[in-house]
Amino acid sequence: MAYSCDRTTDIIALTISNKGNTRIEEDEIKIYINDELIGTFGKAIEPGTLSKNSFQGNQGTNIVKAISPSNTVRIVITCY
């Protein structure tokens, strides 16, 4: 998972890679920011590809978790 955060809007852009051999469906990855469920990633990701989607973050520190049926990734993102 990679990210960027827009300094003026606090929009967090997440990029998720599917290194597996099956498609990840659009509702299989749940996104949490600071332990609050924001929703699903909202885009399907084919094997061997990257997909990007944006979410509203907060100014300062954002603890982002992406949880799928087989994996969990946690990253700390600071928006200034």
When pLDDT is averaged across residues 12-37 and rounded to a whole number, the result is 95
**Structural domain spans, the chain:** 2-79
Which CATH number applies to 2-79? 2.60.40
When pLDDT is averaged across residues 62-74 and rounded to a whole number, the result is 94
Question: Which of 10, 38, 39 is CA-nearest to residue 27?
Answer: 39
Percentage of the chain surpassing pLDDT 90?
91
pLDDT digits (tens, 9 = 90+) for 29-51: 999 999 999 999 999 999 999 99
Q: Is residue 70 pLDDT above 90, yes or no?
A: no
Query: Model-level pTM?
Result: 0.91
How many helices (H) and strands (E) would you count in the chain?
Answer: 0, 7
